[in-house]
Chain A
Amino acid sequence: MPDGGMPMGETTASRAAAHDLDLVALAAGGGREAFGELVRRHGSAVRSLVRRMGAQPALADDIAQDAFLAAFERIAEFRGEGTFQAWVKRIAARLYAKRWRREAIARRAAEALEADDDPRVTQSGVAARIDLDQALASLGALERLCVSLCYGAGLSHSDAAEALGLPLGTVKSHVKRGLDKLKARLAPAQTVRDAEEANG
């Protein structure tokens, strides 16, 4: 793989140890291997967010790929305000919202909510994620989308409204209803876990 921006002597190991900002600087100079390392680091988080927004796994992967391609094209615009992962997540969230607007996939997303489990998840923290994923699955498609845009991708309510082409008040009410439902579903489980931890 060509890597125009990588200094001589740069190795896979040193890339793996490099800070995101260093990799971004290398990628901005055309360093494809540095960008590949960023994709390996943050790809799962971005894919996971788009799935949580309601996309089927295959579509979520396509959106995530498009988001990373867009990020590579516009990487000179990344100023290090916030993390690289958050930046790509926002790009992915906007891409999915745009797609949602164009194709009006809300109904299909609602039908697909049950198929979101991914058996390939490998790291720790699985219980909390399953809790969140299951709780998100109980929301309406728009509630799920609005909550994920605002809390998963870090968009403001007005940014989410603009991305979805919905009135601000509509987005706010979807977020509010979504949070209320999540609270109702997540609070009891957390209470049980807290009690179990307290009992040792």
Chain B
Amino acid sequence: MADLEFEDRIDRMFAQAPTFGDADLFALRLDERLNRGWTARRMLIGGLGLAGGLVGGAQVIGSGVISRFDEISAQSGRLLTQRLSEVAPFDLLPVGFAVDGQILWMSAALAAVAIGFAVARAVREI
């Protein structure tokens, strides 16, 4: 028998793979290992995210950014109220209407949430 012919035969014999009776169990075990890997990864990412958030939060509070934020909010609110009173007729605005800094940022946050929902919905539809 020629060597090449024999090598082809060995190739074919190696290719004749058996199917083990526990093939499904093997696949299940592998899936469990994949799950364990993902769980560990999620916990690691979550833990690192939490630690990073706490450190970042502490830095933000320590830097006095909140007082500056309040100041900017108040200035923005005053400016917006002033502009609105210039362009809108007095009888259209509610009595005592004034754009508070908190209202301004809350509106912005709600708008951001609404945009987030819209984007998530669009992605799901696509």
> Bound complex: CA of A190 vs CA of B24, how far in Å?
33
Query: How many residues on chain B are close to A (CB under 8 Å)?
Result: 26
> Bound complex: CA of A121 vs CA of B17, how far in Å?
10
Q: Tell whether, in the assembled complex, residue A123 and residue B14 are in contact, meaning their CB atoms are under 8 Å apart.
A: no
Residues of B31-82 whose CB lies within 8 A of A: 31, 33-34, 37
Q: Tell whether, in the assembled complex, residue A43 and residue B27 are in contact, meaning their CB atoms are under 8 Å apart.
A: yes
Query: How many residues on chain A are close to B (CB under 8 Å)?
Result: 40
| Prevailing SS type, chain B contact patch | helix
Query: A72: which of B3, B11, B34 is its contact (CB, 8 Å)?
Result: B34
Residues of B within 8 A of A129 (CB): 13, 16, 18
Residues of A within 8 A of B111 (CB): none
Q: Tell whether, in the assembled complex, residue A61 and residue B31 are in contact, meaning their CB atoms are under 8 Å apart.
A: no
Query: A151: which of B10, B24, B33 is its contact (CB, 8 Å)?
Result: B10
The reply on A95 being an interface residue by CB < 8 A is no
| Prevailing SS type, chain A contact patch | helix
Q: Tell whether, in the assembled complex, residue A126 and residue B1 are in contact, meaning their CB atoms are under 8 Å apart.
A: no
Given A1-B31, A43-B27, A49 contacting B13 (CB threshold 8 A): no
The reply on B21 being an interface residue by CB < 8 A is yes
The reply on A56 being an interface residue by CB < 8 A is no
Residues of A within 8 A of B9 (CB): 186, 190
> Bound complex: CA of A187 vs CA of B14, how far in Å?
16
> Bound complex: CA of A126 vs CA of B22, how far in Å?
17
Residues of B within 8 A of A64 (CB): 26
